[in-house]
Structure 1
């Protein structure tokens, strides 16, 4: 079985944790932007997939396709090349940060833990409709 769902908007990566000291203790704080995006991923998963969750012992393959919006100032020729996939994004966020944000957000929702993910496909494209498409499936053994 494969689940496939989309998260609307520009792709976002996992922000670096911030550290502060309070009364001699170090406190870790996840950036608000990251928390909001992870909540959006969970909300979209639940809206599109319901309460489906992979078995706790499943080995999973995650595919993530990040679609960045095409800038308004782009020439017609360059815009067509972007739509065709000839020109692909080499800008931030990095693929590993996008993947980390999505995988962490789905912990306890789509699967027990992102440690179950044993295989990954991650690609970046341009599109008129910025979004992140996510597919998760069980890896068939043998």
Structure 2
């Protein structure tokens, strides 16, 4: 599915109370992401297990970019890095927050992370998760 960056929370206030919430588009994305994740029937890592995570975000190129014929071989080989929005840290946050309680107990278990964003004609997210050996 297409990557989505984590937005900032929104705030509303009535009667002296301030309530924060996430935009509906984002909460719907997280539900779809978790549905797709559940299809893989991946096991949840144990609480306390240090994890290494690698995420590659394949992002749809702008129409002006993808219409240029010379770009098609590069887009098909998925080697063009994205140096525009969305910010990679917000893309990571959306995935890490969505997987809390599903792939791991809490994303504080992640001790090592690698992320990359590339243009692709097939937008998607690829994730690798491995347990890290404790050498203490």
Q: Matched residues in 1 for 2:131 and 2:103: separation? A: 12
Specify every segment of 5 or more residues in structure 2 that has no aligned partner in the other structure, as ranges. Answer: none
Determine the structure 2 residue equivalent to 1:134: 127
Determine the structure 2 residue equivalent to 1:20: 12
Match of 1:53 among 26, 44, 49: 44
Normalized per residue, the structure richer in strand is 1
After TM superposition, the score normalised by the length of structure 1 is: 0.85
Match of 1:79 among 72, 78, 82: 72
Determine the structure 2 residue equivalent to 1:33: 25
After TM superposition, the score normalised by the length of structure 2 is: 0.88
Deviation at 1:32, TM superposition (A): 0.9
Report if aligned partners of 2:75, 2:121 keep a CA contact under 8 Å in 1: no
Quote the RMSD (CA, aligned, Å). Answer: 1.6
Moved more, 80-89 or 129-138: 80-89
Determine the structure 2 residue equivalent to 1:105: 98
Determine the structure 2 residue equivalent to 1:124: 117
